Structure 1
Amino acid sequence: MKQPRIRVALALAAATVLGIGAAPSAVRATDPDRPERVLIIVLDQARKDTIARYRMDNVRSLMTGGVSFPNAYLGHMAAETVISHNVITSGLLPKHMGWSNEVHRDVAGTLGSPGAYYVTSSMSCSQFDALIGAGGYLKLQDYLDAHFGDSSFASIAQKRTAACTGGHTAGPLDAGDFIFQIRGSGVSGSVTCDGITSTAWRRPEAVSRPAYIPDPNVCSRWWTRQSTTAEGLDYGTASQAPAWMYPLEGNRFMPGADPGHLGGDVWSADAAIEVIENDPEWRGMLVSLGAIDKMGHMWGPNDRADSDTHLPAIARLADEQVGRIVAALDAAGQLDETLIVITADHGAQTGRRFHGVNEAFRSDFNWYCGKDADETYLSPSPAIAAFRDALGGDCDPSTAGGGLDFTYQDAHIAAWLSDTSLASLQTAATAMLDLPDVVAAYYRDGDRYVRHGGLGKMTGGERRWFTLHAQELVDTMAAPFGPDVVGLLRDDTTYGVYGDHGGHQEQVQSIPIIFSWPGLAPSTPSTALRSVDILPTILDAMGIAYDPTSVDGRAFSLPFA
């Protein structure tokens, strides 16, 4: 159950505790020497080198004209969409958020029976709302409301895991707040929308919908076609390795050919522009562009193929959407007021050493070995099957004394056990070390992980990064709901799909962090800024008071011109 606190109460508490000195309904006078709005654009799976590799000129313009951190890194695990969007908007590490990996053990019974398991990438907005509510922590929009007075915040994405985690707060959303994501419910049978009859129409999903966005149940521009099997909407990727493990599914990530119902990153940019043009009261917005991630999973993050369904074209398209959003701010007279933040929710690495099963539609069965209330993945790869068998379990949490309850594996391996005694943890960590290309195994001890056994083969560069960051990164997900045992993998190793993330590796942790506002002095600080530092840095730049002890991140004072 959500804690009995409401959004206004949170903002009032912030006003009192943080020394703001005004109720959230009392609009503050704006400071012309500070940004008055903030727009966060998340380029899902974009590494720092993605921007130059694919000539993302609009992003490069913001980078060279703003404050860019060449030594930035993600700074947490698991390095996943479902984790990072809440890190960005809360300033908290995953261990303090309420969930920390792609699998969640609900030890507190917030979502249902205590100890039940959930695949977080399949959770609903209401379930994320419940976890954030149970945590009772402030989010970006709470700080904006407390400082400026009641205002609007929009969280927009193709993925529910981005929109809902970025947009929900510990209390009910204000009337002006808005969560919008492309993948709502499908329609039954063949439906006609704008003169086009299709079995693949899909409605969007909106939480706290503003009046300028039509009812999702009524045909509108926001409907897209998103079926893998109908109408050839897999774009040929369902029969082409390695993309076939995680093929395209219509126009969730591809714009498509229907100009009245463009999907992909165009959809998200169009929604952001709707907010800019129709809601002068917006103060904060998160826009997550997800297509780079999809192509990176299918082909690997270094993809060079010249095709609309490959990374070069889709990265340029994402860059065009950044340009369109910035142009809309300019046209609305809001560009000089808006602090623009460009970042990513993780990087990625190519599975040159791949230990999943390279067959069509294998992604979820490679990623998971387990069973929750509505999903069953009990056909793991041979490597994970060997790990399961070594522990005498069956990846089914409902089996009494089953040993291994659940695993998740991409560029790291995470395991949840039914028996968490020290002996069982150490046995599982020993078995983890036997898996291909595992370089280190850890078991959880409270709010940290203990490395068990020796280190596997690494190059000099891998070892340097490991020494600097491995313990720091793995500890960020150490919580009772997090994995009991973790395996860290070599560079260029994946277990899920060809291009993957989640782990500690430098390529996975490599992300851009860019701040752009006309009042900033262009610079490239050497500070190794992390995702968790983005929120306090935004608050510092906007002159918004906050309690530094309430966040895990540290503010960087951006240089003003």
Structure 2
Amino acid sequence: MARRRLLASFALAGMAATVALAGTQGIASAKPKPTPAKPTKVVIILVDALSREIVDKYGMSNVQALMDVGVDTPRGYLGHTGSVTVVTHNVITSGLLPKHMGWTNEGYRDSLDVLPDRKATNAGDNLFISSNWTSAEMFPVQNKLGYPKLGDYLAKSGGVYTVSPKAYAAYGFSGDVPGTTTITFGGTVTCGTAPNTQRYRIPVGINLPSWLDTTCGSRWLVERDKGYDTLQEPARLYPALDDRYVVGDEAGHQGGDVWATDLSLRIMQEDEDWSGLFISLPGVDKAAHMWGGVNDPEGGDLDGDGQPDVIGYNELTHMEYATATADAQVGRIMDALEESGDLDDTVVVLTADHGSVAAAEDHFHGDFEPVNDYGLWNWYYGDVENDVYLDPQEALKPLVEEGNVGLSYSDSSINVWLKDQSPEAAAATAEVMATLPDVTAVWHRNGDHFDRVSPVRWERMTSPGERAWFVRKAQELVDTQAADYGPDLVATLPDDTTYSVHGDHGGIQRSTQQIPIVFAGGGLSSKDLHSEVRSVDIMPTLLRTLGIEPDAPMDGVAYKLPMG
């Protein structure tokens, strides 16, 4: 009965949606299937940047229904830094903390000597920006440490598929698992006859299915060169320039979350023997970065005077639309599993790769310039092997001018890879770092942990809850990226502060750490798990639920999920 109530709520949520979100690919009629002793299939639905705060504010009814009738984890949290996309997708499907999986953040020092130097000089210093990686860089780093991925286990019983419009998310999720399929976006094709031509993004990946048409006119192509209302502040720092991360307005070629869900439903239809499906939905993340997350001025009221003041306001780039879209896709996936008869044989995980910090007035420390994607210059500083950013925001200049920064990555924390890693040089840089706006503490890596090397600025934390969270979690979270390839120094920031774009990830804040982690389907009950479940616990918990003995140790805890 619980499952029927769940699916009824999905149907009602879909009927109440204020946006047209129907997909183009269906599911075959249900066939009676025997209930297995243990489930054999896994679906992970990852809604990028979905904090519990966002679920509640925007009333995401399908996500809330899943929490109600699945195994929710009310005390669950992300459990690591950097709390960023390029890290967490791999944490979830490896069961390892960042300090044991090969990279810890968007910055990376090649201490494992995996990637070739790209520069003839020493300018790069073996430092990389990991979100620029393709599979050609990410897979060798994963493989260097030799750990199995979730797909390695699932591929023994059926097809394993990863679908994500965001390439580095896709490859982190999937890993280098022989025979599995990864589908993402890349490249461009121009369709039509001049002067009526249009550029489209096309699907790329690994082991693409034969039915995936990538030619002009295919449903799976999505429009490029579309800015909507995002070519203005604050969205211009990281604008939507096509329909890869947003749904878009071209019927039959919807992108973002709808594209990923349509592909996933088609996979279920084409391969009845699938065993794993990892789906990453990017729409909420994009809207949150552009418009400040829960501070999004819906309707265009940027100055808060009650009057629309955004030229060309378009709802489809904003948080209300993005959350409704993501929520509808959760419902579509769950309905498809029920209709195909696979739900009792499938453990569904609903989670996120991080939450979203919304910068308060006077607590945004990035710069604005009339250039699209200028937020990249706020995020990164350094002449690294695979990019160059040498124009830091004003707030970061004292740190850069100190002269020892090889690479910095700044979001809702500040992470620094030093040129000179000696204790004396690190101490001098840390001293400057502690003077930067809104820094609450500075931490120096010491082997497998970080030492706090500055006083805690308690007065910069504005509530007892924020201070209590810092006491309980700051050391634990910072320590998860204590590895030679991780940052040498980390500065933590308050709940409402970013150095990059108006809504961001990265740090220890509750709004980026408190994410949904829900297990459903597979004969599970609606009894909640009240342990402090983390992202790193998802893989060992899945293996235990499926009755699979792991081949290698993991950092995560294998929780016993209550059965119905």
Correspondent of 2:184 among 177, 181, 184: 181
Deviations 1:210-236 (A, max 9, x none): 22223x466522111123xxxxx1102
Correspondent of 2:343 among 329, 335, 342: 335
> What is the deviation of 1:115?
4.8
Question: CA 1:551–1:522 in 2, change beyond 3 Å: closer, same or farther?
Answer: same
* Structure-1 residue corresponding to 2:51: 47
RMSD between superposed Cα atoms in Å: 1.9
Equivalent position SS for 1:110: coil
1:201 counterpart = 2:205: no
Q: How does 1:278-293 map to 2 (within 5 A)?
A: 278-293=270-285
Partners of 2:203 and 2:125 in 1: CA distance:
32
Partners of 2:96 and 2:168 in 1: CA distance:
17
Aligned partner letter, 1:556: Y
> What is the deviation of 1:208?
1.2
Q: How does 1:459-478 map to 2 (within 5 A)?
A: 459=462, 460-478=464-482
Correspondent of 1:541 among 527, 538, 545: 545
* Structure-1 residue corresponding to 2:150: 140
Correspondent of 2:230 among 237, 250, 255: 237
Equivalent position SS for 2:526: coil
1:313 counterpart = 2:321: yes
Partners of 2:35 and 2:92 in 1: CA distance:
24
* Structure-1 residue corresponding to 2:456: 455
1:211 counterpart = 2:210: yes
Partners of 2:442 and 2:535 in 1: CA distance:
25
Aligned partner letter, 1:559: P
> What is the deviation of 1:331?
2.5
Deviations 1:287-333 (A, max 9, x none): 00001000011112213615222101110011111111222222322
> What is the deviation of 1:463?
1.6
Aligned partner letter, 2:223: R
Asked if structure 2 preserves the Cα contact closer than 8 Å seen for 1:354 and 1:494, the reply is yes
Q: Which runs of structure 1 show a deviation greater than 3 angstroms over 4 or more consecutive aligned residues? A: 195-199, 216-219
Equivalent position SS for 1:202: strand
* Structure-2 residue corresponding to 1:506: 510
> What is the deviation of 1:254?
1.9
> What is the deviation of 1:191?
2.8
Deviations 1:501-535 (A, max 9, x none): 10011111010000111511212222110000001
Partners of 1:374 and 1:477 in 2: CA distance:
21
Partners of 1:331 and 1:461 in 2: CA distance:
44
Deviations 1:238-278 (A, max 9, x none): 12x21111111111122222222111110100111111100
* Structure-1 residue corresponding to 2:306: none
* Structure-1 residue corresponding to 2:422: 421
* Structure-1 residue corresponding to 2:169: 162
Partners of 1:211 and 1:191 in 2: CA distance:
21
Partners of 1:198 and 1:106 in 2: CA distance:
43
Partners of 1:443 and 1:259 in 2: CA distance:
51
* Structure-2 residue corresponding to 1:7: none
Partners of 2:297 and 2:68 in 1: CA distance:
25
Asked if structure 1 preserves the Cα contact closer than 8 Å seen for 2:35 and 2:344, the reply is no
> What is the deviation of 1:334?
1.3
* Structure-1 residue corresponding to 2:75: 71
Q: How does 1:219-258 map to 2 (within 5 A)?
A: 220-227=218-225, 233-239=226-232, 241-258=233-250
Partners of 2:323 and 2:195 in 1: CA distance:
29
Aligned partner letter, 2:62: N
Correspondent of 1:553 among 550, 556, 561: 556
Deviations 1:461-517 (A, max 9, x none): 222111101111111011111111110011100000000110011111010000111
Partners of 1:53 and 1:419 in 2: CA distance:
45
Partners of 1:304 and 1:388 in 2: CA distance:
33
Aligned partner letter, 1:446: G
Asked if structure 2 preserves the Cα contact closer than 8 Å seen for 1:158 and 1:253, the reply is yes
Gapped regions of structure 2 (runs ≥ 5): 1-33, 118-123, 300-314
Partners of 2:140 and 2:434 in 1: CA distance:
36
TM-score, length-normalised on structure 2? 0.86
Asked if structure 2 preserves the Cα contact closer than 8 Å seen for 1:443 and 1:484, the reply is yes
Question: CA 1:373–1:192 in 2, change beyond 3 Å: closer, same or farther?
Answer: farther
* Structure-2 residue corresponding to 1:123: 133
Equivalent position SS for 1:155: strand
Aligned partner letter, 1:410: D
Deviations 1:397-432 (A, max 9, x none): xxxxxx221100000000111110011111111111
TM-score, length-normalised on structure 1? 0.86
Deviations 1:170-209 (A, max 9, x none): xxx333x110112x0123xx5329x994343122212111
* Structure-2 residue corresponding to 1:13: none
Deviations 1:92-119 (A, max 9, x none): 0001111111011112221113951211
Equivalent position SS for 1:68: coil
Gapped regions of structure 1 (runs ≥ 5): 1-29, 228-232, 394-402
> What is the deviation of 1:31?
7.4
Aligned partner letter, 2:231: A
Aligned partner letter, 1:70: P
Question: CA 1:260–1:31 in 2, change beyond 3 Å: closer, same or farther?
Answer: closer
* Structure-1 residue corresponding to 2:91: 87
Give identity over the alignment, percent: 39
Aligned partner letter, 1:429: A
* Structure-2 residue corresponding to 1:6: none
Partners of 1:344 and 1:374 in 2: CA distance:
28
